Amino acid sequence: MAEKTLHIPSFMTRPGMGQTGVAAPVKASELSQSAVTSPISAVDDSQIRIMTLAQITHGGAWQLEQLHLRDHHLLLWITRGQGRLLLHGLRRGFGAHNAIFVPAGKLLAIEAGRHIQGQALIIPNDGRVLLPDRTQQLRLQDGLAQAELTGLLDDLRREIHENRTYLTEALTAIASLISIWLRRQMQILADPTRATSAERIVRRFADLLAENYATGRPMQDYAEDLDITPTHLTRVCRHSSGLTAADMLSQVVQHQAHMMLIKTSMPINEIADTLGFGSAAYFTRFSQQHFGAAPSQIRRAAMPHDFG
């Protein structure tokens, strides 16, 4: 079989670096379903769970700080501190008494301050709980609304801690009540301000990115899907998110690559192929460029006993 011509998209290079390679870009419609990976989670996606922010970032703050998507639905309840949030392509600040909802498959990054405290509710994306299909940040000033959410989260934690009979049913019921609370608050606190044209473009790009980040598609293809030029796409992304379109794509690939290395036993050459690289060698160059270590070194450092 003739060897494929390899190249590397611009998002995977830094100024001054020599050209390396990944698989030539392909259209998403030409890919088999198995060719595009689902996001790898740092937590158990099969159960409704509640964790602290410290627990959800166990293993490194990068798990929240780097742009990524998740297999599960996520509700963050911030009770102390402040930081910056990149939600569905749009950057904004957040503080205490903010509820942040992220449906499965939507892009997220959180830069938290040192003293931030809060809880994270993980709900599996299996249809057991009816939830909104869009991201939402709620700045709650109503003390009763704050107390209601806190009480429901406390009920969840108590059920998990006591591990009583009918636990799964109880957790599903409480999570459903939290969903009702969330949807009610979204109605009450709905922002009447219409999104700008730039924000709409960035949100559409974020959705395309979530679906196609592992295909090796060049930025030109994303821009064509949006009926704009790559230059305009870069401009609106930088304005709305603080990142260029290429930076956003690179961060998602980095996050997924890192998670696959430390959370799975998938062979490195398969990870490279799954993420659109032409070979394990090109994936190794990417890893050394962005992580400062080869994939095998990252895996050994994270799981020396499991995958040594």
Please give the CATH topology (third level) of the domain spanning 197-302.
Answer: Arc Repressor Mutant, subunit A (1.10.10)
For the record, the structure tokens of 262 come out as: 């430390």
Residue with tokens 């790009």: 205
pLDDT in tens, 183-213: 999 999 877 778 899 999 999 999 999 999 9
Q: What is the DSSP string of the chain?
A: -PPPP-B--GGG--TTPPP--BPPP--GGGS-GGGSPPPPPSS-TTS-EEEEHHHHTTT-THHHHS-B--SSEEEEEEEE--EEEEETTEEEEE-TTEEEEE-TT--EEEEE-TT-EEEEEEE-SSSSS---SS-EEEE---HHHHHHHHHHHHHHHHHHHHT-TTHHHHHHHHHHHHHHHHHHHHHHT---SPPPHHHHHHHHHHHHHHHHTTTT--HHHHHHHTTS-HHHHHHHHHHHHSS-HHHHHHHHHHHHHHHHHHH----HHHHHHHTT-SSHHHHHHHHHHHHSS-HHHHHHHH-TTT--
pLDDT in tens, 222-249: 999 999 999 999 999 999 999 999 999 9
CA angle, residues 195, 198, 204, in degrees to nearest 5 = 85
- Sequence ranges of the chain with CATH classification 2.60.120.280: 49-188
pLDDT recorded at residue 94: 95
- Sequence ranges of the chain with CATH classification 1.10.10.60: 197-302
Residue with tokens 């062979």: 267
| In CATH, 49-188 is 2.70.50.60 | no
First vs last C-alpha separation in the chain: 34
For the record, the structure tokens of 301 come out as: 């450092």
Tell the burial category of 84 from Cβ atoms under 10 Å away from its Cβ (0-12, 13-18, 19+).
middle
Average pLDDT for runs of 10 along the chain of length 308: 36 35 34 53 77 85 93 96 94 96 96 88 96 95 97 97 95 98 93 86 97 91 97 96 95 94 93 90 92 92 56
Residue with tokens 């394990």: 280
